[in-house]
Amino acid sequence: MQPASRIMEGADEAPLLSLRAITKTYGAVEALKGVDIDVHAGEVLAICGDNGAGKSSLIRIVSGAQEPTGGTIALRGEPIRLRSPQDALQRGVATIYQDLALAPRLSIAQNVFLGSELTRPVLGLPFARLLDKRRMAEEARGYLQRLAIDVADMTTPVERLSGGQRQAVAIGRALRWDAELIIMDEPTAALGVKETAQVLDLIRRLRAEGRTVILISHNMADVVSVATRVVILKSGRKVTEEPTVGLDADTLAHMVMTGKKP
């Protein structure tokens, strides 16, 4: 079988994100023991593994929430350090955290523009800028429409939305940053069947827009349904990396448990 990267588009270009020999230790615990992963533009890469496999540590490193103990990160071929989530966002890497991403009582527009609100000058004064609520509402609506989510009122508090709509709001924030690489941490973990389908559809739409997605998931059916490639971690090491073509959920579950194909 060919290495996955050969069959991806743009294989002759540098990977969008390249992780080399990434290690992370917490005191005496080695969460990551030298992981190499390439993420190619336009793919949906699933990262799977049992609890304690190192998924969360890896995500925290790529999202800028933590720096690795060792190893290098390159974005579009250029070595970088991600010092904070803000740093990662500005480089086009947005992470959507499982439960922490949204402020439930704030509106859709406020959540999409959280931390990066739009302002407009007032009375032509150079330093007096007030929030441009109308433009934020319009643009937030635009992002949600791109994700085929129709909510009438952008001032609706996020707590009144369904689980699928909330994920769309979180993705809307990533679109607002024009993130090229979107990392989604267990986006369907708390959702019902219908909402899960909605979120998987959101991921397909992101891919159709040419964005790259890293999907962390326990749900093997989700993974084979939307991911183009899967990386399996076990005890802090990468044990498998292959395209999802031809894989079914049961085979994948077996691979996650044993690290080998049946």
**Among positions 50, 117, 195, 242, the unique one binding another protein when judged by CB under 8 A:** 117
- Amino acid, single-letter form, for residue 103: A
Report the distance separating Cα 24 and Cα 33, nearest Å. Answer: 7
| Separation of alpha carbons 258 and 262, rounded Å | 9
What is the identity of the amino acid at 41? A
Residue 261's nearest CA partner among 244, 39, 215 is 244
Separation of alpha carbons 215 and 68, rounded Å: 20
Question: In whole angstroms, how close is the CB of 82 to another protein at the nearest point?
Answer: 13
65 binds another protein, rule: CB under 8 A: yes
By CB under 8 A, residue 153 contacts another protein: no
Tell me if 169 contacts another protein by CB under 8 A: no
Examine residue 116 and tell whether it contacts another protein (CB under 8 A).
yes
Site for another protein in 170-229 (CB under 8 A): 173
Torsion-angle region of residue 18: left (phi > 0), alpha (psi -120 to 50) or beta? Answer: beta
| Choice from 131, 151, 197, 247 touching another protein (CB under 8 A) | 131
- Cβ at position 159, least distance to another protein in Å: 6
DSSP 38-77: EE-TT-EEEEE--TTSSHHHHHHHHTTSS--SEEEEEETT
Which stretch in 47-55, 101-109, 199-207, 214-222 sits in contact with another protein by CB under 8 A? Answer: 101-109
For another protein, the closer of residues 71 and 157 by Cβ is 157
Distance (Å, whole) CA 254 – CA 261: 7
Look at residue 226 and give its three-state secondary structure.
helix
Q: Which of 18, 23, 110, 217 binds another protein (CB under 8 A)?
A: 110
Q: CB of residue 197 vs another protein: minimum separation in angstroms?
A: 26
95 binds another protein (CB under 8 A): yes
Contact of 150 with 168, CB cutoff 8 Å: no
Residue 72 in the binding site for another protein (CB under 8 A): no
Binding residues for another protein (CB under 8 A): 65, 84-86, 89, 95, 97, 100-106, 110, 114-117, 119, 129-131, 159, 173
